[in-house]
Structure 1
Amino acid sequence: MEGRREEPAVPGDTQIDLTGKVALVTGAAQGIGRSFTEALLRHGAKVALVDSNKSIGEDCKKALDEEFGAANSLFITCNVGSEEQLKGAFQKTKDFFGSLDIVCNNAGINNENKWEQTITVNLISVIRGTYIALDYMSRENGGKGGVIVNMSSLAGLFPAAHGPVYTATKHGVVGFTRAIAATSKILGYGVRINTICPAFVDTPLLNSVNHEEIMGKYYVFKDAVEKLIQHYGILENIAICRPSLIVQGLMKILQEDELNGAVMKITKSQGIHFEVYETTLVQPEVK
């Protein structure tokens, strides 16, 4: 049984030069994905914006072009739940920019009523996105290494009664990321894989708990969720706060080479800190 303790908050260092790096971000047109995209561009990277919402994605791309130049980003319409479309997005990124160094598997939804769709987007697409990224970046396949960041949630560490399936998917992201990060280290993939678990964030996803057609029978928890939000607070509006704590967390992961298999938590009260697992299973040796 693994126990938990928390380390004290640490500041997010955003002083990093990503010139020459190529990144792919899913769910990139709004919310956390857009904030990641803007930050990566601001620090010199070229970015493929992958999103299922064509109109919002094109508007996002247009706005980014005005600030960073059209040649530095690429918008790709993609349903991450489709294996064919997701593989195509990675290939288009490689064809357009010539390489791939950073992947943020960020796309996510909250729909307890259509729970199979939630599993497909939140967990299956993250697993598939990680495997496709490794196909391109792993030294085992002739790649030059890189960094993968999988987005989870505090619901990936603690049970959220108002969202059992959402909780399951986010727990799955944490477990998968920790395991595949260990695999990467043991087999020498040269790819660091980490996960970020933010608390309540001021994004469109947060508003989903207010819709009965989305939450189904768990809509009964609406008032309880609002009390939880009031108690824990909402992380800053990432659309207007630069850099947000979540962006600082991403940059910390990109900058600190020793981070692999890390579970980064971000809360309003404690800032950026990490889940610490006190016991670890003996890992297999490969000869």
Structure 2
Amino acid sequence: MVTTTFTISRSSLTSLTNSTTLITGGSSGIGLATVILLHSLPSNNIIILDIRPPPPPLNTSSRVRYIQTDITSWASQRAAFKAGYAIFGRIDNVFVNAGITEYKDQIFDSELDDKGELKEPDRRVINLNLNAANDTVKLAVFYMRMNGEKGGNIVMTASMAGYLASAGAPLYSASKHGIVGLMRAIKSDALRLNIVVSVVAPGITVTPILGHTQESKETPEELAKKYHDMGIPLNSADDVADAVVYLFAQGIKSSGKGLMIQAGKFADVEAGAAKGRKVWMGEEMLELFKSGRNTRAFLPSKL
């Protein structure tokens, strides 16, 4: 079956109310757009974890709490979750969103250190985009288990580069492949705890991070116009926010979804990948895989 695209109307997102959502990287870009959308819906509380505070008036709203956090620090994230939970008494949704673009060339550059040895790579992209994201997921599961049968909903920001890779951004692409892999690896066990896990995978999105690695010093708006004029499909931060809130609102139906987003259109590419296994694995490999998965070694884990 061919994967089909669909659109999301903001008027259809009004069902998500009376919930508490924690968002990493919620002070700008996609995170901020999601905060604004959630805040526009009745009785939703939002916890923002970021290095910098969000702009007014969100930083003065009684339904928004900003907690300064270094998400690459386990102690900092752990304390932030604890503080957010103490304020609102529960955490229903978590948007694992904070991340950065490729930081210089860590593969092909041959920069030497002061001893003339090949310099150790800078690991900040993997540390923030994958390791810190995994910490966020672990904390989310811990607090959502306190909700009992209601559980919770986790959405992670992957990227189109997490499916198709991106030339010139190997560590960014690897980290986003890791986010997709993490979702696939934990979705079934999480669902047994009534916790739903999914990803959004945007293509190029117009946010402050756009063009961060460009040497031309073009603003995100200037770069977006250049891309648009070249015919490259673009998303707005609002498009991605719509996808995130859509996944939250869908509840259990969102389990295992991977929403790719291009030009404001959406497609569940995870569903397409699952249905096309016979094509990309081959019939014999698929049957071998199925026979192995039916053995005792792969019985559902007991949490």
**How would you bin the TM-score normalised by the shorter chain?**
0.7 to 0.9
AA aligned to 2:64 is S
By how many angstroms is 1:147 displaced?
A: 0.5
Instruction: Tell me which residue corresponds to 2:17.
Output: 19
* Structure 2 spans left out of the alignment, 5+ residues: 105-120, 218-222, 278-285
Q: How many residues align?
A: 255
Instruction: Give the whole-Å Cα distance in 1 for the aligned partners of 2:193 and 2:126.
Output: 27
2:197–2:256: 8 Å Cα contact kept in structure 1? yes
Instruction: Tell me which residue corresponds to 1:272.
Output: 266
Instruction: Give the whole-Å Cα distance in 1 for the aligned partners of 2:248 and 2:136.
Output: 18
Instruction: Tell me which residue corresponds to 1:6.
Output: 3
Map of 1:240-279 to 2, 5 A cutoff? 244-257=238-251, 258-268=253-263, 271-275=265-269, 276-277=272-273, 278-279=276-277
Instruction: Tell me which residue corresponds to 2:49.
Output: 50
- Does 2:70 match 1:76? no
Map of 1:167-182 to 2, 5 A cutoff? 167-182=173-188
Return the match for 1:133 from 136, 140, 154.
140
Instruction: Give the whole-Å Cα distance in 2 for the aligned partners of 1:228 and 1:116.
Output: 32
CA radius of gyration, larger in: 2
Mean CA deviation greater in 271-280 or 116-125 = 271-280
AA aligned to 1:21 is S
Secondary structure, aligned partner of 1:264: strand
Instruction: Tell me which residue corresponds to 2:85.
Output: 94
Instruction: Tell me which residue corresponds to 1:216.
Output: none
Instruction: Tell me which residue corresponds to 1:241.
Output: none
1:192–1:260: 8 Å Cα contact kept in structure 2? yes
Mean CA deviation greater in 204-213 or 247-256 = 204-213
* Structure 1 spans left out of the alignment, 5+ residues: 214-222, 239-243
By how many angstroms is 1:227 displaced?
A: 6.4
Instruction: Give the whole-Å Cα distance in 1 for the aligned partners of 2:179 and 2:9.
Output: 23
Taking structure 1 as the reference length, the TM-score comes to 0.81
2:228–2:234: 8 Å Cα contact kept in structure 1? no
Instruction: Tell me which residue corresponds to 2:166.
Output: 160
Mean CA deviation greater in 150-159 or 277-286 = 277-286
By how many angstroms is 1:30 displaced?
A: 0.5
Mean CA deviation greater in 258-267 or 142-151 = 142-151
AA aligned to 1:251 is V
Instruction: Give the whole-Å Cα distance in 2 for the aligned partners of 1:115 and 1:171.
Output: 19
- Does 2:235 match 1:235? yes
Instruction: Tell me which residue corresponds to 2:96.
Output: 105
Query: Identity, % of aligned pairs?
Result: 23
2:162–2:177: 8 Å Cα contact kept in structure 1? yes
Return the match for 1:118 from 100, 111, 125.
125
- Does 2:151 match 1:145? yes
Instruction: Tell me which residue corresponds to 1:196.
Output: 200
Secondary structure, aligned partner of 2:33: helix
Secondary structure, aligned partner of 1:207: coil
Question: Please, what is the CA RMSD of the aligned residues?
Answer: 2.6
By how many angstroms is 1:247 displaced?
A: 2.0
- Does 2:297 match 1:285? no
Distance 1:181-1:212 versus aligned 2 partners, 3 A rule: farther
Secondary structure, aligned partner of 1:208: coil
Instruction: Give the whole-Å Cα distance in 2 for the aligned partners of 1:177 and 1:229.
Output: 35
Instruction: Give the whole-Å Cα distance in 2 for the aligned partners of 1:39 and 1:85.
Output: 26
Return the match for 1:37 from 17, 22, 35.
35
Taking structure 2 as the reference length, the TM-score comes to 0.77
By how many angstroms is 1:125 displaced?
A: 1.2
